[in-house]
Every structure is written in C-alpha cells, then in structure tokens.
Chains A and B, each alone.
Chain A
Amino acid sequence: MLKCRIIPCLDVADGRVVKGINFVGLRDAGDPVEAAERYDKEGADELCFLDINATYQNRATTYSIVQKTAEKCFIPLTVGGGVRSSEDVRNLLLAGADKVSFNSAAVKNPDVISEAANRFGSQCIVCAIDAKAAPSGKWELFTHGGRKPTGIDAVEFAQLIEKKGAGEILLTSMDKDGTKSGFNLNMTRIISNAVTIPVIASGGVGNLDHLVDGVVRGGASAVLAASIFHFGEYTIDQAKKHMDKAGIPVRLNK
C-alpha cells in the first residue's frame, strides 16, 4: 500500500534555514545540510528546500546546499524558489535535486510547466500554489512569496497546471502559514478533488493532529511542515507514529 508522505520543509535564505510567520519575521533555524541529514535519519519521506529570497539574490549558495545534501541523503529532494525556466530546472537537477518547484514563473506563463515537463518529465515538475481566502469564498493565488495578489482562482489554476504537465501540487495557505492553527482543510480538499495529481498540504501545522487532519479531512497525499520539526517540538518519527495510530498508512522506521 502506498504510504502518506511526511515532508519537512526547509525555507532557506542566504545559506541558512529560516522560518517566518506569514512569510515575514524570519527566525534562524540552522544549517540546511545538517537539518536535512537529521530528517533523513528520523525517517522523512522526502525533503523540500525553498529558496525564499532566490528571486533577488544569486543562486550559488542554493546549488551548493543542494549538492551537499544530495551526496548524503538518498531520499527525494524537491527544490523551489526563484525557478523561472527549463534552464533553472536543469541546473537544479544537475546539482542533485529530484524535483523542482515552479511558483511565480508558472503564474506569469503556465507554458513554462509544459516546456519543463516535456523536457525532463512530469515526475520532476512540481507547481507551488500559494493561496489566500478571497471575499468571494474562493481562494486567490498569490505570487512572489505571498506579496503579490493575482486575481486568479487557485482551483482553476491547479487544473490548468495539471493539464500543462505538472506532476504534483504543493499547496500553501497564506492565511494559515506560520500560524500553527492547522492546514486550510477546505481548500486542500477542494483542490485535491479537482485534480488527479497528488497534492501536498502546507501552511499552518502546529501539532501532530494537524498532520492527521490534512490527510483524513483535507485529502492530501503528503503533508509538509517546517517549524514543528525545526525547533525540536516533534521528531519526524513521532509524527509518523502519531499518524500510524490514527490509521494513516506511513513508512515507519524499523
């Protein structure tokens, strides 16, 4: 049976892991390569690096972190942040990423997804969707690390990028991110039901029950969390045992 994936996310800026509240107010959480190794040992199912200020600064630090991590961790590694073109995808894959995540660039031009998927295969193309509740009751897509509203409906966009060849959606609720009050379950469920590709729930995890809710009530194929793991509140192993007890199939450490 396919297991639900638990993915610790490392938001990286200037070579350090950081985690903000609602994408601002950053707190240092350590060396990304060391953190990745620790998560791998604890039983993480995948790793995710998001280069949160890549749009503005040069990528050399990120490539070096990806390269060092890929030499030590033999589990899938997704890298996102500032990815604009097939060439960026190629460079990250060559550095050792297994999947690359588009965000702002895919909103500006969804064909960048089809181009990258045709060249490298859908299996390595993730599209990150950052969305906020809109007054209409729908969810609006935001870009540029949550700073720029687009007026685009997140559900329609999810269906569009699936058609363009994305292999997976990383769905973050901007309202929930950093609040520790749990995922936006309604949005997660509606988007997960609207597409056939897997959806990773992200944004808002504050305790282990939130992870369970993301799968059971949100219908997510994978759950992503940052701060509950970075600051030592819970280990990945504790999270998995908790999910196992709740009846969710997980890959447990032997």
Chain B
Amino acid sequence: MLTAIIDYSSGNLHSAQKAFEKITALNNLGSVVVTSDPQIISSADRLVLPGDGAFPSCKSELMSSEAYEAMVFSAVEKKRPFLGICVGMQLMAIKSYEYQETDGLGWIDGEVRKINPKDKSLKIPHMGWNTLKIESDHPIFKCIHNGDHVYFIHSFQMMIKKHEQRLAYTDYGTDITAVVGKENMVGLQFHPEKSGEIGLRIIENFLSWSP
C-alpha cells in the first residue's frame, strides 16, 4: 500500500511525513511518499493533502501544481481514501473568505470563515491543545474518545451546512469544526502529526480505513 502526501509547495511537510512513516513502519501499513508527481499520485492507494498558511495562496499553489488533476481524479473518480489536514481540510470546502472570496474544491458543504468567539478576550489564532467532541462513529475515531486532546493552530474555521458532514468539533467560545467527512474523504482541522499519541492513532485509523 502506498500513501502519497501531496507536495504543492505549501508549508511544512516534514512533520506529517515523519508521523506517517512512523505509523506505517510500526503497523506494516505500506510506505509513504511526499510527491507532486501525477503518476505516483495516480498509483497511490491513499492521499494526504496537508496545508499551512493562507487559503488563497494554498489554493493557487494547488491549482498550479502538476499534482492537482491526478489528486482530484483519484479522490473523486477512483474514490481513494483522502485525508485533508489543516488548510488541506479547509480546501475541501465550497469556498473561503480568508482575505478574499476563494473557491475551494467543493467536496464538503461548508464555508471557511474567521473564528469569531463570543468571548472577545479569547486569542486568535486558536492555538494549542483542545478537546474533541465526537459526533459520529466514523472509523477515524477508533480508540479515540470524547475529551481526547489534539493540537490546533488556525484563525479560520469551516462552517458546515450539512450537519452530517461534521464528524467532531471543539469548543473555543463557539463550536469549531474539528473533523469533517463524506464517503472516502476525511478532513482534520487540527494537526494529527503534532497531537502526540492521540494524533498518531488517528493517522493509523486513516491508514487502516476501507471506506
């Protein structure tokens, strides 16, 4: 089994790569490659779309990457398991309002907007360890419990229109979407590769998942 972490010149892929390598090696879950090569992406069994930084620049980097068409075809037509992380998760939405209105991939029925907690003393970005409130029995949550901590770092969040596509949320003066999903796709707002044992378990769950 081959897992491709898509490299489209956005952000820090090293941490994600190390975490996926550790889990695949420990559990005999195949190999991991960081790539933008469309042929490798087409042949990969699973896809991971990371992303750091601003939505518009991530989107334009992704669109101009040679990885883009192969990734969309694999995820949408071939229904290969797909995982978006942080801005990679936000890119799955219909659109984002970060800096300017920008279309997303349109896979999840949501919009990305600035976090707006009722308590104005709360700091933005939402940065640090917060607890998961799980709303679904999706296999991504195997051995994960309500109240487990994961590491968030973001100023924008995905507001979900179809409630069944929100699989977990966290509380930061308002409900913050933490996990989204539909068919073969899952998106995580937090960083599983930075979330200690809980994060590594979620990565293992993704790598063991057969949608």
Tell me how many residues of A have a C-beta within 8 Å of chain B.
Answer: 32
Interface contact A1-B127, CB-CB below 8 Å: no
B140 to chain A, nearest CB (A): 17
Q: How far is the CA of A76 from the CA of B199 in the complex (A)?
A: 12
Interface contact A95-B53, CB-CB below 8 Å: no
Give the residue name and chain of the A residue nearest to B173 (CB). A2
Q: Which of A94, A98, A167 contacts B194 (CB 8 A)?
A: A98
A142 to chain B, nearest CB (A): 25
Stretch from A8-16, A118-126, A144-152, A226-234 contacting the other chain: A118-126
Whether a CB of chain B sits under 8 angstroms from the CB of A196 is yes
B58 to chain A, nearest CB (A): 9
| A121-B53 CB under 8 A given contacts A3-B130, A70-B18 | yes
Interface contact B126-A2, CB-CB below 8 Å: yes
Interface contact A2-B129, CB-CB below 8 Å: yes
Q: How large is the interface on B (under 10, 10 to 19, 20 to 34, 35 or more residues)?
A: 35 or more
Q: How far is the CA of A40 from the CA of B199 in the complex (A)?
A: 14
Interface contact B194-A93, CB-CB below 8 Å: no
Interface contact A123-B154, CB-CB below 8 Å: yes
Interface contact B125-A1, CB-CB below 8 Å: no
A115-150 to B contact mask, C-beta < 8 Å, 1/0: 000111111100000000000000000000000000
Interface contact A98-B129, CB-CB below 8 Å: no
Interface contact A1-B131, CB-CB below 8 Å: yes
- CB neighbours of A70 from chain B (8 A): 14-15, 18
| A121-B11 CB under 8 A given contacts A74-B199, A74-B200, A221-B127 | yes
A-B contact pairs, 5 of them (CB 8 A): A1-B131, A2-B126, A2-B172, A5-B129, A96-B14
Residues of B with Cβ closer than 8 Å to A? Answer: 11-12, 14-15, 18-19, 22, 52-54, 57, 87, 122-131, 149, 151-155, 171-172, 191, 193-197, 199-200
Residues of A with Cβ closer than 8 Å to B? Answer: 1-5, 40, 45, 70-71, 74-76, 93-96, 98, 118-124, 167-168, 196-198, 221-222, 251
Q: Which 10 pairs of residues, A with B, have the shortest CB-CB distance? A: A121-B53, A121-B52, A251-B129, A123-B153, A93-B12, A3-B129, A198-B123, A251-B149, A2-B130, A76-B194
